């Protein structure tokens, strides 16, 4: 599935044959969510199977490398001015810097701050902390410390620091052509009013353009800040493929639940109500 030269030959029948062999191991249902219809110009063969629109979608920024200021081509003049004013305020903090850590100690230190901040954010929103599940933090630490054969990090960390705290942090996977954010957080302190997450994104976009990457995305999900930088849509789809009779019942349940969630998220009033209820529940 990862070989570009073989993807065009994959048929729906071939995929069903593969999953028929999977069913022999006691699997009832295959659930594949948030799949892109295409990646770097290559069609996703899983779209040949029955599928439905995903709950969320994604979007990306394409670099044209026509010269000049990458941020100037992405953000409006007023937005650039606002963020530069905010960064000037952050620059007054002791030790302010944009950093891409490379040492083991530095990576671990930044991840510790990330886990603490993410836990606080999720609790405030009434969401379960997925990073508290057994083995997750150890897995993420190992992945961030791992290196590819060419020496590049498996997961890049980009962060803003200042005033003795991590102001914002993004973790991403990067290949020769695309930067894709995987996880992020920002401070809950007073400095949050200076939008350190958006300031960090400015640095990241500029760095990606300088590296010659072709595109940049901030991951799947609905968040207003993403639209400042990524405006080209990446529609996604879900596959609920039953392999047994029990799987057919489960596929109907999954498909209906995900379709209902999509309707709620696409309705601003309903989605706002859900988020408010979560916050109320979090406050007890």
User: Which of 25, 49, 47 has its CA nearest to residue 38?
Assistant: 47
Residue 135: both structure tokens together: 């083995």
Query: What's the pLDDT score for residue 202?
Result: 94
Tokens of 123: 């609790």
Please give the CATH topology (third level) of the domain spanning 59-232: Aminopeptidase (3.40.630)
Q: Tell me the C-alpha distance between 277 and 270, whole Å.
A: 11
pLDDT given for residue 1 in this prediction: 60
Q: Give yes or no for a contact between 101 and 159, defined as CB atoms under 8 angstroms apart.
A: yes
| pLDDT at position 67 | 58
- From first to last of its 284 residues, the chain has per-residue pLDDT tens of 678 888 888 899 999 999 999 999 999 999 999 999 988 888 899 999 999 999 998 999 998 875 567 888 888 889 999 999 999 999 999 999 999 999 999 999 999 999 999 999 988 888 888 899 999 999 999 999 999 999 999 999 999 999 999 999 999 999 888 999 999 999 999 999 999 999 999 999 999 999 999 999 999 987 888 888 998 999 999 999 999 999 999 999 999 999 999 999 888 888 888 888 887 877 77
For helices 196-211 and 77-90, the axis angle rounded to 10 degrees is 110
Question: What pLDDT score does 183 carry?
Answer: 94
Alpha helices (H) in the chain, listed in sequence order: 4-7, 12-23, 70-74, 77-90, 104-124, 136-145, 196-211, 245-266, 268-282
Q: What is the pLDDT of residue 8?
A: 80
pLDDT at residue number 66: 59
Domain limits of the chain? 4-56+235-282, 59-232
Q: Are 180 and 174 in contact, with CB atoms under 8 Å apart? A: yes
């Amino acid at each position: 599935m990862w070989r570009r030269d073989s993807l065009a030959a994959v048929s729906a029948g071939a995929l069903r044959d593969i999953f028929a062999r999977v069913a022999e191991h006691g699997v009832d249902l295959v659930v594949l969510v948030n799949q892109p219809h295409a990646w770097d110009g290559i069609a996703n063969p899983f779209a040949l199977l029955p599928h439905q629109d995903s709950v969320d979608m994604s979007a990306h920024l394409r670099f044209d490398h026509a010269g000049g200021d990458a941020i100037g081509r992405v953000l409006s003049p007023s937005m650039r001015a606002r963020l530069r004013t905010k960064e000037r305020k952050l620059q007054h903090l002791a030790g302010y810097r944009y950093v891409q850590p490379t040492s083991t100690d530095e990576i671990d230190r930044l991840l510790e701050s990330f886990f603490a901040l993410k836990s606080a954010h999720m609790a405030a929103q009434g969401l379960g902390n997925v990073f508290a599940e057994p083995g997750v933090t150890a897995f993420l630490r190992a992945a961030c410390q791992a290196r590819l054969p060419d020496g590049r990090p498996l997961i890049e960390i980009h962060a803003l620091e200042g005033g003795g705290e991590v102001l914002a942090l993004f973790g991403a996977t990067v290949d020769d052509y695309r930067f894709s954010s995987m996880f992020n957080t920002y401070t809950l302190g007073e400095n949050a009013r200076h939008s350190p997450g958006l300031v960090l994104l400015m640095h990241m976009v500029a760095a990606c353009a300088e590296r010659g990457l072709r595109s940049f995305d901030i991951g799947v999900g609905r968040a207003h800040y993403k639209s400042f930088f990524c405006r080209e849509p990446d529609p996604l789809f879900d596959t609920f493929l039953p392999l047994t009779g029990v799987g057919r019942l489960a596929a109907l349940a999954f498909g209906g639940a995900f379709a209902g969630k999509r309707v709620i998220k696409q309705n601003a009033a309903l989605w706002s109500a859900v988020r408010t209820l979560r916050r109320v529940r979090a406050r007890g």
